[in-house]
């Protein structure tokens, strides 16, 4: 039987509706898609970037060589970001002196909005505003949180789209070559 244009159109609309429902539920569920070493983006050089923190520190590809970098893309209205904030802060505190740089990149919000949020939710991680970096556009940050790990050689070691808890975040950061994270993560299980 040959499908008429009307039947094909109805089938297309049904399939599109199912796809949108699935995509929306995945976003609201905080789905996680962590990269593994076999993924196509793994171990590619990180794109060239510039970032200036709210404290005036400047970072770029050259300045991070030899360090493991965790990029956290977040917003003040993201409940998943808020839930994961203690995990990111704990990693920063535990491993900041061992070669980990955490750059918490707020996406698309004003300095005033971020400042007001940080008064209520103090952070020790380095905060970067969208106006002070090109990172959010490079990693197409549109849902939050998004995490990207850059290894000591300046390559993308892994990515995680969505919240997955402290153990998953430790495993992700460990993919960048920071020692001690996997053992701590396994001890929590």
Q: What's the pLDDT band for 128 if we cut at 50, 70, 90?
A: very high
Q: What is the pLDDT of residues 10-34, one digit of tens each?
A: 554 445 343 333 333 333 334 333 4
Q: Average pLDDT, stretch 135-142? A: 74
Q: Is the same domain home to 12 and 87?
A: no
Q: Is the same domain home to 139 and 165?
A: yes
Q: What is the pLDDT of residue 132?
A: 81
Q: Is the same domain home to 74 and 37?
A: yes
Q: Is the same domain home to 6 and 73?
A: no
Q: What is the pLDDT of residue 42?
A: 46
Q: Is the same domain home to 13 and 91?
A: no
Q: What is the pLDDT of residue 168?
A: 93
For residue 16, the enclosing domain spans 1-29
Regarding predicted confidence, which is higher, 21 or 106? Answer: 106
54 neighbors 183 (Cβ within 8 angstroms): no
Q: What is the pLDDT of residue 1?
A: 52
- Number of structural domains (the chain) is 2
Q: Is the same domain home to 8 and 79?
A: no
pTM reported for the whole predicted model: 0.74
Task: Indicate the average pLDDT of the chain.
Answer: 79
Q: What's the pLDDT band for 181 if we cut at 50, 70, 90?
A: low
Q: Average pLDDT, stretch 159-175? A: 92
Q: What is the pLDDT of residue 135?
A: 81
Q: Is the same domain home to 91 and 6?
A: no
* CATH number where 133 lies: 3.40.30.10
Side-chain-facing half-sphere of 153: CA atoms under 13 Å = 9
- Kindly report the CA angle at 130 between 127 and 135, in degrees rounded to 5? 90
Q: What are the φ/ψ torsions at residue 176 (nearest 5 degrees)? A: -85, -5
Q: Is the same domain home to 102 and 181?
A: yes
Q: Average pLDDT, stretch 83-91? A: 95
Q: Is the same domain home to 21 and 47?
A: no
Q: Is the same domain home to 108 and 168?
A: yes
């Amino acid at each position: 039987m040959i499908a008429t244009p009307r039947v094909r159109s109805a089938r297309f609309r049904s399939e599109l509706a199912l796809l949108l429902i699935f995509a929306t539920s995945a976003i609201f569920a905080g789905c996680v898609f962590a990269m593994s070493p076999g993924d196509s983006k793994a171990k590619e050089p990180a794109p060239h970037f510039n970032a200036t923190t709210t404290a005036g520190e400047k970072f770029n590809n050259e300045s991070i060589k030899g360090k493991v970098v965790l990029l956290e893309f977040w917003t003040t209205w993201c409940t998943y970001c808020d839930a994961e904030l203690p995990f990111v802060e704990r990693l920063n505190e535990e491993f900041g002196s061992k070669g980990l740089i955490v750059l918490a990149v707020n996406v698309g919000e004003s300095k005033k909005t971020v400042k007001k949020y940080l008064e209520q939710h103090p952070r020790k991680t380095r905060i970067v505003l969208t106006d002070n970096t090109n990172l959010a556009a490079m990693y197409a940050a549109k849902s939050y949180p998004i995490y990207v790990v850059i290894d000591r050689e300046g390559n993308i070691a892994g990515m995680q789209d969505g919240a997955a808890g402290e153990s998953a975040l430790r495993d992700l950061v460990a993919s960048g070559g920071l020692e001690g994270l996997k053992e701590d993560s396994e001890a929590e299980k």
